[in-house]
Chains A and B, each alone.
Chain A
Amino acid sequence: MDAINTGDTAFILVSAALVMFMTPGLALFYGGMVRSKNVLGTIMHSFFILGLVTVEWVLWGYSNAFGPDLGGIIGSLDWFGLSGVGTTPFKDYAATIPHQTFMIFQMMFAVITPALITGTFAERIKFSTFVIFTLLWCTLVYNPVAHWVWGIGGWIRNLGALDFAGGTVVHINSGIAALAAALVIGKRKGYGHEPFHPHNLPMTIMGAAILWFGWFGFNAGSALAANGLAASAFTATHIAAAAATLSWVCTEWMYRGKPTTLGAASGCVAGLVAITPAAGFVGPISALIIGLAAGVLCYFAIFLKHKMGYDDALDVVGVHGVGGTFGALATGLFASKAVNEAGNNGLFFGNPALFGTQLIAVLVTLVYSFVVTIIILKVLDWTMGLRVEHEDEEAGLDLSQHSEVGYNL
């Protein structure tokens, strides 16, 4: 058995803590963008998920996603309640850290993914339905997709598709689920003829900064060791985020005449999303190109909702769906074995086949997540109801769902 490496273990535990911090960071990022009457409801979505998905992950989530494979489709329940997930390494995932360290790191990914979706149905969903939706979505969508892409025996992993830190599992998955949710749940009352101003952009920018900070754990930690690959992923992550901040702001500056702070915050997140699948496979210049392209692409992607008429309240589809899809495909273009021997070469490094593999992984995730999310939501709509009453929507979710108000000024 391999020995535990204390440096690796320390680094992954800290990385897990960094990724944990992203979820409350996301709560602030989203919380600032809604109207003040919905600030607590929006923050609560992310914060409550920290509790809910942690418990789900301990009981069956980790076992379903990473446990012993059943036909390439799902992990068995052998590790239910973290049975057998102890302090000795499970070398098929990470040879030099305790199995529990790997588990807790993965838990933080499982937590933030459904939290990302909440941006789409902000300001109108019933809290009780949101709780059941999140449990069902994690069980029926996140856990299987995580198993396919990352689990030993997972069929997409066996195809050779690359997803370093969750472009497919986290961002495409949540982004397309967000589109499904926006379509099924419908528009906010007054959408299109009343303005929905973000009520606290400083809060949003602070949230974006926390996301950027936490993302170093997300991507560098995905090396699963404190080594050169972690340094390379950290570097690529930061470069892409910075480049996308520049390109988003400059695009809107040219296109709309003013450089906005919400644009800067959105740009950095778009860059972080896009580099996530590629972070451990690409060099600095590739990261720069991916980031620059992501900022421009995601900026124009947010106009899709105006064109198509759905109400994705906080642009989860435009930023995570489009950014994640672009990043996963860009991995097929820019990946290089010179950066990561365990990866593969992309199209630009002489291996067009990888792009095809990436395309399959992307399409499968898009279709599966979209269809299953629609089914879950339709069933919930018939049984519990998805939306709050009109009167409650008017009063705001803070008061109607939680009997609180965010501000007494």
Chain B
Amino acid sequence: MKKIEAIIKPFKLDEIKEALQRLDVKGMTISEVKGFGRQKGHTEIYRGAEYVVDFIPKVKLELVLDDSQVPPVLKALQESARTGKIGDGKIFVLPVEEVVRIRTGETGSAAI
């Protein structure tokens, strides 16, 4: 089992959700986060004074998958999140040791 964490551009979220649902992904968690990568922040100008804003709004998407689902999901994520411009984000893949479904007590792949 793997956990996928993706930092994406907020306006891409709907497109990504639809792409993942087509791949039969059962669930995901999203959070509104702020940060910066190579694109850095943006500049705001008030009456001629420039302010550099370092942290810009992003969405973090988290999902846990069976190993077999990982390659197609990575591909779909990359395709649907991509604009080709700087700041498109990153995808991290992490190992997952155990999953428990709280309602039934099921574990492992059955609980995903």
Complexed CA–CA distance, A195 and B44 (Å): 10
CA distance A303 to B49 in the complex (A): 8
Q: Is the CB of A302 within 8 A of B48?
A: yes
Report the separation of the CA atoms of residues A137 and B49 in the bound assembly, to the nearest whole angstrom: 31
Shortest C-beta distance, A364 to chain B (Å), equals: 30
A398 at the A/B interface (Cβ < 8 Å)?
no
Give residues of chain B (13-55) contacting chain A, Cβ–Cβ below 8 Å.
44-51
Q: Is the Cβ of A262 less than 8 Å from the Cβ of B46? A: yes
> Judging by beta carbons under 8 Å apart, are B49 and A260 in contact?
no
Question: For B44, B45, B51, which residue has the most chain A Cβ atoms within 10 angstroms?
Answer: B45
Task: Please determine whether A198 and B46 come into contact, CB atoms closer than 8 angstroms.
Answer: yes
Tell me which residues across on chain B come within 8 A of A299, comparing CB atoms: 48
Report how far A263 CA is from B45 CA in the complex, Å.
Answer: 10
Q: Which residues of A contact B50 (CB under 8 A)?
A: 256
Is there an interface contact between A266 and B49, defined as CB atoms closer than 8 Å?
Answer: no
B45: which A residues are within 8 A, CB to CB?
252, 256, 258, 260
Contact (Cβ within 8 A) A303 B51 = no
> Nearest-CB distance from B70 to chain A (Å)?
41
Are B48 and A195 closer than 8 Å at their CB atoms?
A: no
Q: What's the Cα separation between A302 and B50 when bound, in Å?
A: 13
- Grouping DSSP codes into helix (H, G, I), strand (E, B) and loop, the B interface class, with mixed when no group exceeds half, is strand
> Which residues does chain A contribute within 8 Å of B49, judged by CB atoms?
306
Q: Give the interface size class of chain B.
A: under 10
Instruction: Report the Cα distance A153→B45, complex, angstroms.
Output: 48
* A189: chain B residues within 8 A (beta carbon): none
Q: Is A315 an interface residue (CB 8 A)?
A: yes
Residue in A closest to B49 when the chains form the complex, CB atoms:
A306
List, in ascending order, chain B residues with CB within 8 A of A197's CB.
44, 46, 51
The smallest beta-carbon distance between B58 and chain A, in angstroms, is 20
Determine the distance from Cα of A306 to Cα of B73 in the docked complex, in whole angstroms: 52
User: Which residues of A sit under 8 angstroms from B51, Cβ to Cβ?
Assistant: 195, 197
Instruction: Give Cα A304–Cα B45 distance, bound, in whole angstroms.
Output: 16
B41 to chain A, nearest CB (A): 11
Contact assessment for A256 and B48 in the assembled complex, using a CB-CB cutoff below 8 Å: yes
**B44 adjacent to A315 (CB under 8 Å):** no
Q: Which residues of B contact A303 (CB under 8 A)?
A: 48
Nearest-CB residue, chain A, relative to B52? A195
**B45 nearest CB across to chain A (Å):** 5
Separation of A38 and B51 alpha carbons in the complex (Å): 20
Chain B residues, Cβ within 8 Å of A302: 47-48
Q: Do B47 and A266 have beta carbons less than 8 Å apart? A: yes
Expressed in whole angstroms, the Cα–Cα distance for A38 and B19 within the complex equals 46
A195 contacts across to B, CB distance below 8 A = 51
**Cα separation A380 to B66 with both chains bound (whole Å):** 73
Give CA–CA (A350, B9) in the complex, Å: 64
For A260, list chain B residues within 8 Å (CB).
Answer: 45-47
- The docked-state distance in angstroms from the alpha carbon of A303 to that of B50 is 12
Q: Which of A237-284 contact B (CB under 8 A)?
A: 252, 255-256, 258, 260, 262-263, 266
Q: Which residues of A are interface residues toward B (Cβ below 8 A)? A: 195, 197-198, 252, 255-256, 258, 260, 262-263, 266, 299, 302-303, 306, 315
Task: Provide 24 A-B residue pairs closer than 8 Å at the C-beta atoms, listed in order of the A residue.
Answer: A195-B51, A197-B44, A197-B46, A197-B51, A198-B46, A252-B45, A255-B48, A256-B45, A256-B48, A256-B50, A258-B45, A260-B45, A260-B46, A260-B47, A262-B46, A262-B47, A263-B47, A266-B47, A299-B48, A302-B47, A302-B48, A303-B48, A306-B49, A315-B47
User: Apart from A198-B46, A260-B45, A302-B47, what 11 extra A-B contacts exist at CB < 8 Å?
Assistant: A195-B51, A197-B44, A252-B45, A256-B48, A256-B50, A258-B45, A260-B46, A260-B47, A262-B46, A302-B48, A306-B49
Q: Give the top 10 A-B pairs by smallest Cβ distance, nearest first.
A: A195-B51, A256-B45, A302-B47, A262-B46, A302-B48, A262-B47, A198-B46, A260-B45, A303-B48, A266-B47
